[in-house]
Amino acid sequence: TLRMTEKEETMDISDNQDSAQSAKKNGRTSLLDSGEDFEVLNEEDIDDDPPPLEDAGGGKLKSEEQNGKENVDTDSDPSGPVEEWLDVLGNDQLKKKVLEPGKGRDSRPQKGQNVRIHLKSFLTDGTPVQEQRDLCFTLGDGDVIQALDLTVQLMEMEEKALIQTDAKYAYGTRGSVDPEVPPNAELSLEVELLEATDAPDLELLPPVEKIALASHKRERGNVHYQRGDYAFAINSYGIALQITESSSKVDISAEEEKELIDVKVKCLNNMAASQLKLDHYDAALKSCVSALAHQPENIKALFRMGKVLALQGEYTEAIQTLRKALKLEPSNKTIHAELSKLVKKHSEQRGAEQAMYKKMLGNPSSNSTQKHRAKSSWGLSWKWLFGATAVAIGGVALSVVIAARN
C-alpha cells in the first residue's frame, strides 16, 4: 500500500529488506533501509542544488616542490613514483597523485566499462572510513561517489593512486550513514585499479540478470534522491530505464516480463518525483503518462500526475486524476488532503475570476432589473395615455351627436 504523509512523498524501494536487517545488526541504518517505500526528505532539509555532472578533463599538474608549475607530463618518468598532483577539474577540489605507475595510457578504462578496484577511504585526519577489496562498478554511471567516477577513468591498469576530494565530490553536506562519514567531510582515497572489462551485451543478458542490473541502477538513483542530488538520481533512473527497454535475443517468460515492467514503472515514478523537485513539470508529466501506459491504475503515478497538473494550473484535470486515485485507495489520507486542498484552491480561483468579470462588465443582474423596471414603467404610462385619449375622443363624439340632435 501507498504510505505518504502531507509533507512527504514516497518512492519505490523494493529489494532492500535484507540489507536493512544486516545494517540494523551493526547498529546503523542505511539510506535504503526504510523498506519498499521510503519517505523523501522535507523541503526545508534540502540544501543547495546538487553539483552538475562534470567530465574529467585535462587538469593542471601541480608539483609539490615547485608551486605554479603546470602541464607536467605524468608519463615522462614511468620508472619511478610520480610526485605531482593532478588537479582533475582545475578547481583544486579534486586531486590525484600516482603512487605506483600502471601499464601505460593505453590501458586506461573507458566510460561504460565495468571496473574492479581496491579502495581504502580515510578522513583528512587519518581516521579510516571504509575498505573495499573488490569494488565493482560501471564507469560513468554514477554507481559510486563522483570522485571515483572522475578519477578512475584517468588511471592506468594496476596503477595505485592517492585521491584527495572535497565533500562536494564525495558525500556532500549531508554526509553518510553507511559508510559513516560526517557532513562536509573531505576524504583521502587510496585506489588500485585491478580490472576493466566491457559491459555485457544487454540483448544477450538473461532476464534475471537484466532485472537485477536495472534494479541496482534504480537503487543507486534512490540513494542520490535521498541525498538531494536530483540530477544524479534522474541519470541513474534513465540508465535503469534503458536496461528495461533494451531488446532481448533471449527467451523471457511472462512472469519475468511482468517483473521487468514493474521495475520500469518504479523508475518512471521515481524519475517523476526527481523532476518535480527540479521544477521540470513537462518532463515529470511525461514520466507519469509513460508509467500509466503500463499500469493505468498505478496510484503513485496518478498522484504525481495530479500534482503536476495542479502546478501547471490544470485544476479540472488534476482534480479528476486525484479522484481516480482516491477511488482506487479510499483510505489514503495524503490523497484526501491533496484533493481537498486543490478543490478549495480551484473554488477560490473561480470566485476571484467571477468577481473580476463582474467588475469589468458591471453588474448584469442589476442592469437587467433596472431595464425591466423602466420598460414596465414606460408600458404603464402608454396604457394610461391611450385610455385618456380614448375617453377624450369619446366625449367629443358624444358632444357632436347631442349638438346634431338639438
DSSP string covering 44-77, please? GG--SPPPPP------EEE-SSSTT-----TTS-
Pairing of strands 37-39, 10-12: antiparallel
What's the predicted TM-score (pTM) here? 0.68
At 86, which helix (H) or strand (E)? strand 85-87
Residues 6+ apart with CB under 8 A from 340: none
The grid coordinates of residue 346 equal 480551484
State how far the Cα of 363 lies from the Cα of 386, in Å rounded to an integer: 35
**CATH architecture assignment, domain 203-357:** Alpha Horseshoe (1.25)
Write out the chain's pLDDT in tens, 406 residues: 344 444 444 455 444 444 444 444 444 433 333 333 433 333 333 333 433 443 334 444 344 444 444 444 444 444 444 458 999 999 999 999 999 999 999 999 999 999 999 999 999 999 999 999 999 999 999 999 999 999 999 999 999 999 999 999 999 999 999 899 999 999 999 999 999 999 999 999 999 999 999 999 999 999 999 989 999 999 999 999 999 999 999 999 999 999 999 999 999 999 999 999 999 999 999 999 999 999 999 999 999 999 999 999 899 999 999 999 999 999 999 999 999 988 888 776 666 666 676 667 765 555 555 555 545 554 545 555 555 555 556 555 555 445 555 4
What span, in angstroms and rounded, lies between the C-alpha atoms of 392 and 399? 11
Residue 47 CB neighbours (<10 A): 12
Residues 6+ apart with CB under 8 A from 391: none
- Check residue 346 and give its pLDDT: 75
- All CATH 3.10.50.40 domain ranges in the chain, comma separated: 50-199
Alpha carbons 210 and 202: distance in angstroms, whole number? 7
d(CA 405, CA 239): 119
Query: What CATH code is assigned to 50-199?
Result: 3.10.50.40
CATH 1.25.40.10 placement within the chain:
203-357
Check: CB of residue 178 under 8 Å from CB of residue 28: yes
Q: What is the reported pLDDT for 347?
A: 76
Quick one: pLDDT at residue 99?
A: 96
User: 136: which residues sit within 8 A by CB, 6+ positions away?
Assistant: 114, 115, 116
Give the residue from 244, 292, 242 showing the smallest Cα distance to 272.
Answer: 292
In eight-state DSSP terms, residue 284 is: H
Do 213 and 228 meet the contact criterion of CB atoms below 8 Å apart? Answer: no
